[in-house]
């Protein structure tokens, strides 16, 4: 399962957020069967530098082949671009955080104990 956490410096209204979430849902399903997506939009004054107008995705998964990582990056880029276009470089950042079963707890138990 993938856990994807998005921190956004995009200025989206409620309708824009709904469109983005729907686009992300559609694109992520092409890469992962099971996932949890959390989207946080930073408010005015909560970003600085390059973060304004940018979305950073933290993708927490077991290590996977480079080709799958490329697929994830492309899927997240397509989702964001389908809603806000592609007005700048470095708009969609994807950071992979890898873990194995000894680094994850679920419902009070370590994954390695299942």
Write down the pTM of the prediction: 0.88
In the structure, how many helices (H) and strands (E) does the chain have?
A: 2, 6
* Nearby residues of 112 by Cβ (< 8 Å), 6 or more positions away: 100, 101, 102
* Cβ 41 vs Cβ 17: under 8 Å: yes
Angle between helices 14-28 and 66-84 (to 10 degrees): 150
Both structure tokens of 61: 């998964």
- Give the tokens for residue 85: 């276009």
Distance CA(77)–CA(81), nearest Å, equals: 6
pLDDT tens digits, 42-62? 988 898 888 888 999 999 999
pLDDT at residue 87 tops 80: no
């Amino acid at each position: 399962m993938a856990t994807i956490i998005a921190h956004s410096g995009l200025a989206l209204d409620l309708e824009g957020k709904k469109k983005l979430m729907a686009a992300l849902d559609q694109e992520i399903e092409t890469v992962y069967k099971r996932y949890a997506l959390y989207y946080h939009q930073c408010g005015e004054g909560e970003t600085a530098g390059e973060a304004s107008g940018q979305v950073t995705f933290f993708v927490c998964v077991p290590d996977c082949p480079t080709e799958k990582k490329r697929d994830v990056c492309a899927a997240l880029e397509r989702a964001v671009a389908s809603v806000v276009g592609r007005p700048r470089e470095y708009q969609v950042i994807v950071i992979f955080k890898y873990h194995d079963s000894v680094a994850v707890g679920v419902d009070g138990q370590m994954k390695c104990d299942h």
